[in-house]
Amino acid sequence: SGEVNHRQALSSAVAATVGLGNISGVAIAIYRGGPGVIFWIWVTALIGMCIKFYSCSLAIMYRDCDSSGKLQGGPMYYITKGLGKKAKPLAIFFCIAGLVGFLGVFTANQFTQSFIKVIRPDETITPLGEFNWKLGIGITLSVITSFVIFGGLKKIARVATAIVPFMVLLYFVAVMIVIALNTEHILPSLKLILTKAFDVRTAVEGGFWGLVILGVRRAVFSNEAGLGSAPMYHGQSRTDEPVQEGLVAMLGPFIDTIIVCTLTAIVIILSGAYLEAESDGILMTLIAFERSLFGYGDVILMLVVSAFAISTLFTYSYYGTKCLSFLTNVKISKLFNVYYVATITFAAVASVDLVINLIDLAYALMCIPNMIAVLMLAPRVNAAMNSYFKKRHGKT
């Protein structure tokens, strides 16, 4: 049996995916590819739900014990157990890439930018200089994160379960207010998305930036389908029914992409913030909320960003420790948390381009071995799915 129930596994996985990628990642996509890119986000969300079903089902089908005897699941385990020992190099490759990909650097970087933009600490608090303020924010985030990640999986699950519903609800309410105040622009905005989706420029740039969004915190694939992170959490569920866990996991992409990413896009398009020549990422979304909510929207968004950032930072460290545990052992894997916390401070002062390029590369390298395994093992999931539904049909 695993350590957490279905709801905790889903909430923890969503906590890691519903983050600043939904706010700044979508803004980057619109900035680079135009409003029509949102249509392709919807399309890839449907594909992502299918991938999540297969990968999380495999996480239950092929679990194994780590060096401490605890049951674990995830790409490294269904690669080695499902494909055999000959495929172990793929699992090792995945874990090495995960030591970089599973850092909270993008979240820390974008949170710091939003704090500097909204709070303007040099003006409202004390003039320390932008670099010193970024350094201070990074150190503060590192300390707060340390209190949680050294508590282990069950503590992370409890915190994530509490934060996720709150932050999604708060964001949903804020967006609904914006939409209610701009009802006359809803249909034109949707028409713009659909017409621009098949524009030549949007088709070319939107397809490319769909991959970029995956690299900058899971907007098109913000649900992390294909990346291999969610199976690690779902592999901890107290269940022996892989198909049931896969079905539960499909809710993640729906919440993350269909709901949260779409809401972000609507606000950006309604406000006209995407037309700002110099706005990109989190700054574009801040402009959109500030314009739409009587000049105070950026403050509201800052509260949401804080919740998103903290929950993402809390949850993401878990994935890296599991990668290092697979490569070495459980005792040594705890060192990842020290490395993880240190990189938060680094990311706060680093340029956004450096952070995005780093994560883009790591995510691409992680997807390759994971998707090879998912595609090769898909027939076994299909067989389990047929058996599962036949059994349920027989009971009814």
For the full predicted model, state whether its pTM sits above 0.85. no
Residue 44, pLDDT above cutoff 90: no
Q: What average pLDDT does the segment 79-102 reach?
A: 94
Average pLDDT, the chain: 80
Domains of the chain: 6-384 (1.20.1740.10)
Q: How confident is the model at residue 218 (pLDDT cuts 50, 70, 90)?
A: very low
Instruction: Report the percent of the chain where pLDDT is more than 90.
Output: 22
Residue of 310 and 340 predicted with greater confidence: 340
Residue 281, pLDDT above cutoff 50: yes
| Most confident by average pLDDT, 59-73, 161-175, 330-344 | 330-344
Residue of 127 and 205 predicted with greater confidence: 127
The candidate with the shortest Cα–Cα distance to 76, out of 326, 381, 321, 368, is 326
Q: CA-to-CA distance for 78 and 58, rounded, in angstroms?
A: 6
Residue of 167 and 291 predicted with greater confidence: 291
Tokens 């709801």 found at: 7
Tell me, what's the pLDDT at 98? 94
Q: How confident is the model at residue 216 (pLDDT cuts 50, 70, 90)?
A: very low
Residue of 329 and 212 predicted with greater confidence: 329
Tell me if 4 sits within 8 A of 162, measured CB to CB: no
Tell me, what's the pLDDT at 295? 75
- Could you read off the pLDDT of 333-363 as tens digits, one per residue? 889 999 999 999 999 999 888 887 888 788 8
By CB neighbour count within 10 A (0-12 exposed, 13-18 middle, 19+ buried), where does 204 fall? Answer: exposed
Collapse the DSSP code of 8 into the 3-class scheme (helix H, G, I; strand E, B; otherwise coil) and give the result: helix
Tokens 């609800």 found at: 169
Q: Which residues of 101-121 are buried (b: 16+ CB within 10 A; e: fewer)?
A: bbbbbbbbbbbbbbbbebbeb
